[in-house]
Structure formats: structure tokens, C-alpha cells
Structure 1
Amino acid sequence: MSNSGNPYGGSYGGQMTANAQFGAAPASASAAPAAGDLIKETTTQAFAKDVLEESKRQPVLVDFWAPWCGPCRQLTPIIEKAVNDAKGKVKLVKMNIDDHPTIAGQLGIQSIPAVVAFIDGRPADGFMGALPDSQVRQFIDKLGGPAGGADQAAEIQAVLEEAKGLYDEGDFDGAAQLYAAVMQADPENAKAVAGIADCMLGLNQHERVREIIDGLPEDMAKSPEIQALAKKLEQIEEARKLGDPVALEQQLSLNPDDHAARLNLAKIRNVEGKRQDAAEHLLLIMKKDRTFEDDGARRQLLEFFEVWGPTDPATIQARRKLSSILFS
């Protein structure tokens, strides 16, 4: 994305150079594990040992794939080489969802390839789709630490985190300026592009965000950050058509089992940023009637997770409650 298409494209971030060197080899390293120790296949039965227990020692990436999936075949050599080059900072566990569908279903994975990073026995981050080599290495560096020390990748990550903090505080202009600074150094950084567009959503520039999404190159449009942004825009556009939340609250006060009203209210609370409230409405529907709209409350909650991200506190809290309902 060029600066001409970026309304926040001022001369920010001059301290960052334009030649990023992602995934550089460390200057020195201790003896690395053999490649065969870093990558393995797993089963439903072995998942707890191979992933949950092992992730208490270092991050474990779980690659959910299937033999018929073309993008899975594209990702395989990229992620395997990146994991081997990381020399033990992460491990890779591959799970064929045709043979072992249960875990993917429990995690709400709806498309493959999907990679979920486990740390200390819990999902911590992830991405979907066949990302290019540089983005896969950037993802691994974020989990296991930059291979080259305090290089530009670490600096960019720090700016992205600062921008996210400003966004969470409601400072959309300040956050957008930092995202623009990242784009000065890395114009193809999907997180920065999605971050600027998210700030526009915060400023009610919905049509402009739709134009940005529609104008992105195909590879970037498929990135998990842009996919989540597109889903968020869809949710906002849908919520606009669902009526007055005060009226829905009144309906529920008269009939707490009006699941349709509760589902609509959950969608509205989500776009208002009241994520925990939105999740609680959906979880209540699940407790009372899993058959409503063919388990529609659970499916809607999984769509929220896609937008919120796996590490958002609302996702973590709601996923725990969801598990207690599903497995009680």
C-alpha cells in the first residue's frame, strides 16, 4: 500500500530504516536440536503430550492441515524451514484434520491451513492461510524472540504494540500515526494496514475502510489481520440493521428466553466494544438451548473470536466458559 492511499501517511517514524532484515541468523547460538526433534506429526490421543506439555518448555506451533488442501502444501516447506532455522526456539506439530478432527473442532478452526501457537499449555496466538516466508518468520520471532537481537523487526513490533495500546485507550489518531510509521519502513506490513483501517472504523469511516480492503493485493487481503478486519466490518454493517439495543433489552426483560433478541443484542454489544457482555449473552443462549438456530450462538461466538484474536482477554475468558459448557 502506498502512502498516497494512506490518509495518515505523514513523515512519521523517520527513526526506522527502510531495509528490514527479518529472521536474520543469530550472531552466536548454542547447540541446536536436530531438525527431526523440532517437527513431528501428532494424533488426538498424543495431543496433550506433544503440544500441551511440550509448550511449557518452549512455544509449540500446531499446523492443522489436510492432504487435499493446496495452500497447506504451499505452507509446509515454508513453515518447516522457518522452524528449523529458529534452532529450537519453537517446535512444530502437524495434525491432519481428516484423520483427527476433534481438536480443530474444539478450537473453532473453520478453514485450513491454520497455525495455532501454544504457550504454557494454552493457545496464545495464530494465523490462517499460506503466509509468505517473511511473515512466518516474523510470527516465529515474536513467539521465540528476535533471532538478531534488537533489530528492526523488534523495533517494529514495539511500535505496533504501542499503537495497539493507544487504540485500546480510544486515541485513534495517535494510534494511526504510529501504524503509519510502521508502513514507512514496511509498506506490506498487514498489521499496520489493518491497524490504520481499524482506527478509521473507530472514527466511523466505514466506507473508506471498505475501499481499502477491496483495493488490497490478493496476498495481503488473505492475511489473518485483514481477514479479521473484513469480518469486523461485516459485523458492524450487520449490527446497524438489528434495531435499538434499548428495545431489545426491554424485550428480554419481558421474555428472557427470547433467544433471537438476545442474539441480536450480542451482535450490537460486540460492535460497541462490550465484548464480555456480547459473549455472556451467547453463552447464556447455549446453556438454555443448543438447538437454537442450529447451535447458532456457538457459531456466532467463534466468529467473534476470529475478530477479537486468540490472546484478547475477552476471547480467553469466553473460550474457558465455552469449554465448560461443551465438555460438562
Structure 2
Amino acid sequence: MNHEVTDFATDVIAQSHTLPVLVDFWAPWCGPCRILKPSLEKLAAAAEGRWALVTVNTDANPCLAAQHGVRDIPDVRLFHGGRQIAAFTGALPETRIRKWLEDSLPSAMRTKLDLAREQIIAGHFAEAEKRLSPLCATAPDDAAASLLALATVFCDPAAALSLVRDRTGDEAGLVRLFAHVLALAPDSLPDYSAKLSLLGGLAELRAGRFGEALRLLISSMEESVRYADGAAKRACLAIFKLLGARHPLSKELHRRFSMAANP
């Protein structure tokens, strides 16, 4: 499929629940757009229906372009499951577009990993472990192993660290951050007003209640940002990194965190 958009909600959002949709924002006067278009059409034809190509003339649809934050064209967005999952701008060579598609298009494994990541962010660690363990057993994969470690770290930091011993990447880095603060022994911490809220925040973190954890950890920072070598601050940073900047909790609490981090 390859056509100019008639209704974005139908042609892109609704259709992306059935198959991935590549959206090309372009304009007739744009030279790079004319260079890019044949490559996209060739790749779409070769895909044989595995994904659809839809184009948006930004001159004819300025409000639609503004709604999606299109500033420079050509601007290419990939939608799946009703949301944007990847994007690039400019007239890339066909070989680079092909590689980008290989890396960005959803696969059965990527879908399972995305679902497990969402379960972790929701604090459903046991469910995420149940989803990831068979993947790691039958098809060893760095991303799956690192996600399994991330699901495990909240109840067993030592086991999680063993899973990422030789691994790199964002999830492996998060495992190490969480493991370090979750391994703190209450008896090893000096008595101070920041201790109670720090321990409470770590308990909420182990339970997957990230909102409550952040509020208590920030309270500990407000007492003393340097207490326990800045453990509360490091735990907050790890939580924000896990949730992402667009998560409601990040939007709600990051300003308070920043004020506590820089008294």
C-alpha cells in the first residue's frame, strides 16, 4: 500500500494496529523529498505487504504536520500499535533506510521484549520474569537477558548482577544502579533524619511502587542529599531513567527532585 493520506486516524493510527505504517512527510517543492521518495516506494514494494507506506503533503496538511512536530522535511515516521516507534529526517541513502527498517520494524521477539519492559515499568516484576525466562532459555539474547536482570534486581540484586556481568546497554546499566542502592543494609547506615525516608523509599522500590518510592527518596534528599553517599539521589535517577521523561511520574516529580538535588 502506498498512497497520500486522506485521514490520519484511519490510514495511519488504525492501520498500524494491523501492520506497521511508514509515514513520509514531504512537500512538492522539496528537493530531498523527491530524492527520497523513489527509495521508499522501492522498499515498500519489496516489503510485499509487511508494512505500508503513507505520504503526507505538508503544504496540503499544515495542521497535521504541526500536530506531529514536523519542522524539517523529508520527515519519516514509523507507527505500530497506534504509536510512533521510530523516525528519521533527511534523504538517507537506500542502504541506510533498509538498515533502519531492519532495526526499527517490530518482530515477534521485539514485541515480547516491549511487553516485558512495560510490565517492569508498571512494577509487575514477577509477570515480566515469567515472560522473559523462556526467551532467555530458548533463544539467548542480550536484550532479553538484560531485561530479565532488570525484572530480577528488585528482589535479588546479586542474581541480577550476575546476569549482566559481561553485558552493556541501557538496561544493564540500570541493573547496576538499582543493585547498588538496593543492596544497602539498614544497619550499615548512620542514624540521621534522612534514614527513615531512604529506607522507606527503597522498600517501595522493591515492591514496584515507583511513585511512592520517588516521593520518599526525594524526602530523604530534602533532609540531606549527601546522606549514604547520595543513595537516594542515585535511586531517583535510576527510576527516572527507567520510566522515561514522558512518564506521568517523571513529569510530576522531576522538578521537586531537581530542587532537592541542588539545594
Give me the TM-score of the superposition, normalised by structure 2. Answer: 0.49
> Who wins on radius of gyration, i.e. which is larger?
2
More helix by share: 2
